[in-house]
Amino acid sequence: MQASDSTPSPTTTRQVIGIVLGLVFCFAVAAGIIYFVITKTAEERELILKNPGYATGIITRVRRFKGKRISVQYTVAGKQYSLRTRVPAVFLHTHKKGDTTTVIYSRADPSSAILRAKLRPSTK
């Protein structure tokens, strides 16, 4: 009886090309998704800032771990809305649950909003 050869066969050029093409495809898909998310966020921000309204919101929930998020409740024309968004760690050092913060919302759609604290100051 002959013993089977347990050494793995060498990787062929075809396998290497397949692996490289697979990786390139995965990177292209990931880049497309990231581009879509960034574009969508920029369009939403532009829509809000085109005709903004301002409201005072109350922080109702703070998540300090894994993605630092807050939930804010604000009222526009007697109707309550909520906003859940990520915030920088610096924001969490100065704000806690129950504090107020300024919310900028779209007058066309008050449910679409951002925190004023997330806007970068303009550099002039």
CATH code of residue 58: 2.40.50
Same domain, 62 and 99: yes
Q: How far apart are CA 91 and CA 69, in angstroms?
A: 10
Angle (CA) 68-121-38 rounded to 5° is 55
> Would you say residue 5 lies in a domain?
no
- Using one digit for the tens of pLDDT, what is the confidence trace for 36-86? 888 888 888 888 888 899 999 999 999 887 778 899 999 999 999 999 998
Clarify whether residues 26 and 71 are in a common domain: no
Q: Are residues 37 and 84 in the same domain?
A: no
Same domain, 74 and 64: yes
Q: What is the mean pLDDT of residues 100-124?
A: 80
Any domain includes 105 = yes
Domain assignment present for 123: no
CB 99 within 8 A of CB 59: yes
Backbone torsions φ then ψ of 5, nearest 5 degrees: -80, 120
| Domain assignment present for 6 | no
- pLDDT value at residue 58: 93
Q: How many CB atoms lie within 10 A of CB 72?
A: 25
pTM beyond 0.85: no
> Is residue 84 located within the same domain as residue 30?
no
Domain count, the chain: 2
**For residue 29, what are the domain limits?**
11-50
